[in-house]
Amino acid sequence: MDRAILLKKAKEYLLPDKVNLIQQAYDFALKAHEGQVRDSGEPYMEHSIATAMLLLDLQLDASSIAAALLHDVPEDCHVPIKEVEEKFGSEVSKLVDGVTKLSKVNLDSLGSEGLQGRSVDEKEIHADNLRKMLVAIAEDVRVLLIKLSDRLHNVKTLKILPEQRRRRIAQETIEIYAPLAHRLGMWEVKWQLEDGAFRALEPQRYREISTLLTATRSEREAFVTEVSQILKNELKKVNIEAEVTGRAKHIYSVYQKIEKYAAMGKQFDDINDLLALRVLVNSKGDCYAALGIVHSMWHPIAGEFNDFIASPKDNQYTSLHTTVLYKGTIPLEIQIRTHEMHHINEYGIAAHWRYKEGEKRDNTTFSDKMTWLRQLMEWHKEISGSQEFLESVRTDILKDQVFVYTPRGEIKDLPQGATPLDFAYIIHTNLGNRCIGAKVNGRLVPLSRELASGETVEILVSKLDKAPSRDWLNPNLGYIKTSHALRKVRQWFKKQERNENIDKGRQLLEKELRRLGLPLGDPADMAASLKYDSLDDFWASLGYGEVTPQQVIHKLISEEEERKPQQEIPPPQREVIGQVQVLGVGDLLTHLALCCHPLPGDDIIGYVTRTRGVTVHRKDCRNIINEDEKDRLIDVKWSASEQMYQVGVSVEAYDRVGLLSDISSVVAGEKVNINTIKAEERKDRTMTIFLRIQIKNIDQLSRVLAKIDGVRGVITVSRSQDGSAVLHR
């Protein structure tokens, strides 16, 4: 029976193969839920069907309908998501998985008093949960549509639940899900959610208002007929075809209006407050023409007119709203819009997902996603009420985080650029220390691969006692991006034999110096200039990564530079590339002021900001002249054009297909230009490759060499003092 109705609805707008998918999902879900009953005693499948029905009404695509039918299968029937994927494909399984994950996000930490008066910790937990929810939604909007439909059926069947659970679900619905539906412009869903929840929270009030609405129904209907007849006739005179309807407001909104009146000390007694008149016309022009007619017939109330056509609401709602005095005394709310606007207004975001034959729409585009996030941020604003809280959420979200899932579906957030190793150390130090590999979405990936939002990360560990690799400490290799993981790896090495750390430390520095073609120098001097008490301490801290060879070299070079400022650092040919830069003080961040836009050659001065480093202004900038805190001003000067240096690099490697392109792509990955690249084969199947590259400084060179060293087949790589000597050509 249910099955027949469902399929009939699907056939109305879907192609046979799509209907088939829904049919299979139905049969699968029915079998999986077999024997399960809800608290009401109904078969569980009733819930799955109801969830799908609403989405059929919205005419969503077949994948969404199938996912709605299957949405409780993984959680309640312990069917692995893999099986869903095998049977129904990845699109459906992703949706089901998304709904499952969304349901696990705990949003009920919000009490009836909202966030006010909550502790900082509770606010943080709440913000965190909301953020997790945003991620799940941002992945695919349809996940939320299914969730809303699921919730709608749950709200309608709240009655049978025990008091406490009923209140919790109702509260969460009013605070989270109804505002979300509102954000999405899904009015129908929104008011049904609100009315259902309101009924559970305030059964008495609910009954009172619904009695009021029923009692006044015939009166209201007579009123609507009267007014719409007058209006239609007037519109006909100017050739506007219109459909006029009167819709009773829903119960929760009447309740809100009563509350609002009470707060203003007014009595709510006018039945006209219970309805709004809606006028549907054929074109935008007709909307404004109809508005003119309405205003000429009845006097508009000042301040009650809104043009949501010229400036639509954030959720794309478009309509004209006005309130007029009917017969000089009765306030009457009138909405005017086209049929098309009405359609979009009612369905909201779901309208964009409505299935259209021949259109492929399995992916939201990037700009869709951004619109989403913006809307969701707005939604945050509505439910939070606390400016401070909002700010914290906003900065958290804008902090460029990635959100990834553990194999169990928990969400972890990491800074952008984080790797599987960072992820492992966040979960447990031991997991990081024993990590030997990682799978992302089921595929093996290098440990240095950057993670992206929405990915599921699984860490592979050694069964034997495995130790971290010293390579992880080398920032050039990009294994670790978080200070947390770095600290843990260092700690591990620090606990090892001191002698081993001393040996390793020495080797690391010597290797890097050789590679960069720099003189070895006196290690005791280095240790002293880096403020180490003894040479052994210096080697040891290099060994466990407290200081890296790159940092040591950087320090040595900048000291060198200070001593003989006119000498170039990496000598050979020097090429000037016409970029202009402002020299700040030391490593302070500088940027150009937007008020006076200084250009090279202008007289400039720096202003030390509290958080954003130094802003560079023209000396005659008004903001500078009027600045009270003169001690914040600081001298700056234009630097010479940025200098680029040409450096030769030679690589020895085992010959293989693709070697040259792999090397050039890692170099390009560091945004370094290659001027020449030459290769020479040898008899023993090895190759010597010579590159001439343009670099900015020794740090960049060090990174490039480390990356080349990591290319498969490469035996050694080093800076070559004289490139031409390497190849005999």
Q: Which is nearer to Mn ion, 61 or 150 (CB)?
A: 150
- State in angstroms the smallest separation of the CB of 151 from Mn ion: 8
Q: Which is nearer to Mn ion, 150 or 709 (CB)?
A: 150
Q: Does 150 interact with Mn ion (rule: CB under 5 A)?
A: yes
Binding mask 607-646 toward Mn ion (x if CB under 5 A, else -) reads: ----------------------------------------
Q: Is 59 left (phi over 0), alpha (psi -120 to 50) or beta?
A: left
- State in angstroms the smallest separation of the CB of 486 from Mn ion: 43
Q: CB–CB of 276/247 below 8 Å?
A: yes
**Which of the stretches 14-22, 144-152, 269-277, 403-411 binds Mn ion when contact is defined by CB under 5 A?**
144-152
* Cα Rg, the chain, nearest whole Å: 34
Q: CB–CB of 109/122 below 8 Å?
A: yes
Task: Work out the burial of residue 427: count CB atoms within 10 Å of its CB; fewer than 13 is exposed, 13-18 middle, 19 or more buried.
Answer: middle
| Distance from chain centroid for Cα 167 | 31
**Which of the stretches 145-153, 305-313, 315-323, 421-429 binds Mn ion when contact is defined by CB under 5 A?**
145-153
**CA separation for the pair 147, 285 (Å, rounded):** 38
- State in angstroms the smallest separation of the CB of 70 from Mn ion: 10
**Which of the stretches 72-80, 480-488, 516-524, 611-619 binds Mn ion when contact is defined by CB under 5 A?**
72-80
Stretch (H or E) spanning 205? helix 203-215
Q: Which is nearer to Mn ion, 172 or 422 (CB)?
A: 172
**CA separation for the pair 173, 190 (Å, rounded):** 10
- State in angstroms the smallest separation of the CB of 147 from Mn ion: 9
- State in angstroms the smallest separation of the CB of 103 from Mn ion: 7
**CA separation for the pair 115, 709 (Å, rounded):** 53
The DSSP bridge pattern shows strands 643-654 and 714-720 to be: antiparallel
- State in angstroms the smallest separation of the CB of 71 from Mn ion: 6
Closest CA to 463 of 503, 486, 434: 434
- The residue with its CB nearest to Mn ion is 150
Candidates 72, 91, 512, 662; binder of Mn ion (CB under 5 A) is: 72
Total residues in contact with Mn ion, by rule CB under 5 A: 2
For residue 697, the cross-strand partners are none
Q: Which is nearer to Mn ion, 196 or 475 (CB)?
A: 196
Is residue 76 flagged as an active site residue?
yes
Residue 156: φ, ψ to 5°: -70, -20
Q: CB–CB of 503/543 below 8 Å?
A: yes
**CA separation for the pair 359, 338 (Å, rounded):** 25
Q: Which is nearer to Mn ion, 56 or 666 (CB)?
A: 56
**CA separation for the pair 397, 382 (Å, rounded):** 17
**Which of the stretches 149-157, 377-385, 593-601, 697-705 binds Mn ion when contact is defined by CB under 5 A?**
149-157
Q: Does 148 interact with Mn ion (rule: CB under 5 A)?
A: no
**CA separation for the pair 349, 61 (Å, rounded):** 13
Q: Is 692 in a helix, a strand, or coil?
A: strand
List the structure tokens of 112.
Answer: 């009836």
Q: Does 140 interact with Mn ion (rule: CB under 5 A)?
A: no
- State in angstroms the smallest separation of the CB of 110 from Mn ion: 21
Q: Which is nearer to Mn ion, 152 or 258 (CB)?
A: 152
Q: Is 433 in a helix, a strand, or coil?
A: helix
Q: Which is nearer to Mn ion, 33 or 183 (CB)?
A: 33
Catalytic residue among 75, 83, 378, 652: 75
Cβ neighbours around 39 below 10 Å, total: 12
Q: Which is nearer to Mn ion, 50 or 309 (CB)?
A: 50
Closest CA to 154 of 44, 258, 245, 79: 44
- State in angstroms the smallest separation of the CB of 697 from Mn ion: 58
Is residue 75 flagged as an active site residue?
yes
Catalytic residue among 2, 76, 188, 378: 76
DSSP state of 435: E
Residues designated catalytic:
75-76
* Interface residues toward Mn ion, by CB under 5 A: 72, 150
